[in-house]
Amino acid sequence: MEKKTLRAGFAGSGFAARFQYDALSRVSAAKVDVAGVYSPTRVHAEQFASERGIAVFDSLEELIAASDVIHVCTPPSSHEQIVMAALAAGKDVIVEKPFTGYFGDGSPEFSGDSFDRRKGLEAAMASVRRMLDAEAAGKGRIMYAENWVYAPPVQKEREIIEKSGAQVLWMSGEQSHSGSHSPSYGKWRLSGGGSLIGKGSHPIGAVLYLKQVEGKARNGRPIRPANVSARVHALTRMDSFEDKGYIKTTYEDIEDFAAVHIEFEDGTVADVFANEISLGGTNNRITVNANNHRTVCNMSHNDTMETYTPNESFYNDIYVVEKTETKQGWSKIAPEEGWFLGYQHELGDFYKAAATGCPVESGSSLAADTIAVIYTAYLSAAQGGAAMKLQNL
């Protein structure tokens, strides 16, 4: 049977667009033709396009009209606008994390350090509801690009939970490294927050997903988060912080450390840690403690491959692992980092769904719950870590 041809359009031309574009070569369920790219920064779009031999569009509307699937690879402050436009045109839309958020009131005086967190929660959830309503009213679907859902260790844990009838009692998750390279990160008005949303969205999304899986397997419906408590800190912005030059310090009004405790509606729990103060590369892991097993999903670092060099100059042209500060000495090298982190599997699932109409593992409900947890956690942190009940969607 001949594969369906789908046209991919890229809104954005930065880091996320690059790894999504590369992952398209592994899609097997459909034939993918890249229609082109649009970015409000024309020079960035032209560079991205010239390196890949694709077209540059002059407007978002032209890109959407020429595409079947829109990849939203822009700063999160622009996600809703692009998603709404794509859904209005009946197109499927792949939305990078974080799904949406609160990006201030538009005034020059806005500061992420001082705004009312309840107002932020209400605004973020209003954005979520607008997109969910647009999805429900149209033909297009929201596909939430939470790659941790598709990471092979997490998908193997999905199988274990489903086939063993496990009750997941407690999960712990972490994403940490020494700081983001993104020029838009560090400013709340562009990123919607700091470590809690920028890093924590990954492990939060993964633990919410695994409870969805458990609930469907055991009771026929997802188990959803019910209550959240959290603490956040801006450690590198403390007056007492001593900068040795290894940890990023370019943050304007966001936190660089977050700890979140989630209680699910069945009484079970999860703890998530997210920070930008950890040297030695990115730590991506989930530990699952169930009534019949314990699993460690270690996307990175892992010991699939280790390499040693006495002088990192030998490795100048060799990619070792994301966010490492040095290649000298022993490194836990990632032979195919995108595969371990789920990027290729993610797009494979999305394009299969776009071609056949089948459901996706990571859709709008997971995206919505993740934002609800994150912004409720911000409100909790502002109130000293008090437990907060999640809003009903």
Q: Which tokens sit at 377?
A: 């956690």
The burial class, CB within 10 Å (0-12 / 13-18 / 19+), for 389 is exposed
Helix (H, G, I), strand (E, B) or coil at 210: helix
Residue 1 has pLDDT above 70, yes or no: no
DSSP codes of every residue in 83-123: HHHHHHTT-EEEEESS-------S-TT--TTTS-HHHHHHH
Task: Give the relative orientation of helices 117-137 and 79-88 as an angle to the nearest 10 degrees.
Answer: 20
Delineate the domains of the chain, giving CATH numbers in brackets: 5-146 (3.40.50.720), 147-345+371-389 (3.30.360.10)
C-alpha dist (Å) from residue 139 to 11, 69, 84, 130: 20, 12, 12, 15
Q: How confident is the model at residue 185 (pLDDT cuts 50, 70, 90)?
A: confident
Residue 183 has pLDDT above 80, yes or no: no
pLDDT, tens digit (0-9, with 9 covering 90-100), for 102-153: 999 999 899 999 999 999 999 999 999 999 999 999 999 999 999 999 999 9
pLDDT, tens digit (0-9, with 9 covering 90-100), for 149-165: 999 999 999 999 999 99
Half-sphere exposure (Cβ direction) of 114: Cα atoms closer than 13 Å: 3
The arithmetic mean of pLDDT across residues 258-267, rounded, is 98
Residue 211 has pLDDT above 70, yes or no: yes
Which of 360, 393, 376 lies closest to 146 in space, CA to CA?
Answer: 360
pLDDT, tens digit (0-9, with 9 covering 90-100), for 298-338: 998 888 899 999 999 999 999 988 888 899 999 988 888 88
Q: How confident is the model at residue 184 (pLDDT cuts 50, 70, 90)?
A: confident
Residue 284 has pLDDT above 70, yes or no: yes
Strand (E) positions, 307-386? 307-309, 329-331
Residue 274 has pLDDT above 90, yes or no: yes
Q: How confident is the model at residue 60 (pLDDT cuts 50, 70, 90)?
A: very high
The arithmetic mean of pLDDT across residues 349-377, rounded, is 97
